[in-house]
Amino acid sequence: MLRRAGVRCRPGGEDDRLPSEPLRLGGRDLPRSAIMAVVNRTPDSFYDRGATYAFDAALAAVDRAVAGGADIVDIGGVKAGPGDEVGVAEELRRVVDLVAAVRSRHPGVVISVDTWRAEVGAAVAAAGADLLNDTWGGVDPELAAVAAEHGIGLVCAHAGGQRPRTRPHRIAYADVVADVLRHVVAEAERAAALGVPRNAILIDPAHDFGKNTRHSLEITRRLAELTDTGWPVLVAVSNKDFIGETLGQPVEKRGVGTLAVLGVSAWLGARVFRVHDADAARRALAAVAALGQPPATSRCRAR
């Protein structure tokens, strides 16, 4: 059963949404539902298979994402799954110049970089990044210190203790949501203690990272338990395997499933949505927001 996070019913039937801290990145407050557009500067992405690997193609993808309503662009230089080894030097080559170019070209957009390496984090922060998206759950403990030193944001994710670029094998949890909560809240508090601004820290359950399809579906159904922590929640579900396995669809046919999960996640209080199609996500989330506003004559029913 799904329940909407952060909503209470007053005796008079009024909708009383619990206040939350503004999410502030790059010197600006982000909207209640912020779109994070994926730009993969990799030759072997599971989704686009290298379509934005070339520098000019990646920059053009950023242009399209911003035009489509993206609030954040998330630049990645290493494929999440197994593949050819990508060392620090090569990751730096792929992302640093692109960050600098995007910073110059789109001064108003928030720039995120998907990396688990502190050395890469420091270089992209110097080039103009506003957020470090650590999808591998703090495997390099120095990354949070880099975010603190540069005064930028950090995504604290859960990967079940898996090493970067590995797939889970028969992974099990007594309660996957409890495990996620324990890890991401501890990482967020650690980052804040190191000096990362509290209103620039996000938590991410990291669907499919160190999890099977059942785990990812359970996290989706119980996402309100994460949003209830008060930390802004990022969901990165776009075209992922758990959607494909659940619906029996290949990567290129997971768009509808992606939008469905985004809608559920928004209803349960998620704040940032990492997607491949910024325009479609923006329109879907606007519809969820509109449907969540009751007409003036409505009355609030029992939850």
Is residue 23 assigned to a domain?
no
The predicted pLDDT at position 10 comes to: 32
Q: pLDDT tens across 182-211, in order? A: 999 999 999 999 999 999 999 999 999 999
Is residue 57 assigned to a domain?
yes
Report in angstroms the alpha-carbon separations of 69 from 61, 72, 117, 157: 13, 9, 29, 25
- Residue 22 is given by DSSP the state P
Q: Count how many Cα atoms sit within 13 Å of the Cα of residue 207 in the half-sphere of its side chain.
A: 28
Helices (H), the chain: 55-67, 88-105, 118-127, 142-150, 176-194, 213-221, 224-227, 241-247, 255-267, 278-291
Confidence of residue 169 (pLDDT cuts 50, 70, 90): confident
Confidence of residue 1 (pLDDT cuts 50, 70, 90): low
Question: pLDDT exceeding 90 applies to what percent of the chain?
Answer: 84
Q: Angle, nearest 10°, between helix axes 176-194 and 142-150?
A: 50
Q: Count the domains in the chain.
A: 1
Is residue 236 assigned to a domain?
yes
- Residue 62 is given by DSSP the state H
Residue 105: which domain range? Answer: 31-80+88-291
Is residue 298 assigned to a domain?
no
Is residue 121 assigned to a domain?
yes
The CA radius of gyration of the chain, in Å to the nearest whole number, is: 19
Cβ atoms of 165 and 81 within 8 Å: the answer is: yes
- Tell me the pLDDT of the chain averaged across its residues: 91
Pairwise CA distance, residues 120 & 96, whole Å:
8
Say which range, 44-48, 99-103, 236-240, 272-276, has the weakest mean pLDDT: 44-48
Is residue 12 assigned to a domain?
no
Q: Is residue 299 over pLDDT 80?
A: no
The predicted pLDDT at position 50 comes to: 86
Can you give the CATH number for the domain in which 242 is found? Answer: 3.20.20.20
Is residue 13 assigned to a domain?
no
Is residue 268 assigned to a domain?
yes
The predicted pLDDT at position 13 comes to: 36
Bridge partners (DSSP) of residue 17 are 7
What is the average pLDDT across 131-147? 97
Report in angstroms the alpha-carbon separations of 64 from 8, 70, 213, 224, 285: 38, 9, 31, 32, 18
Q: What is the pTM of this model?
A: 0.91
Q: pLDDT tens across 227-257, in order? A: 999 999 999 999 999 999 999 999 999 999 9
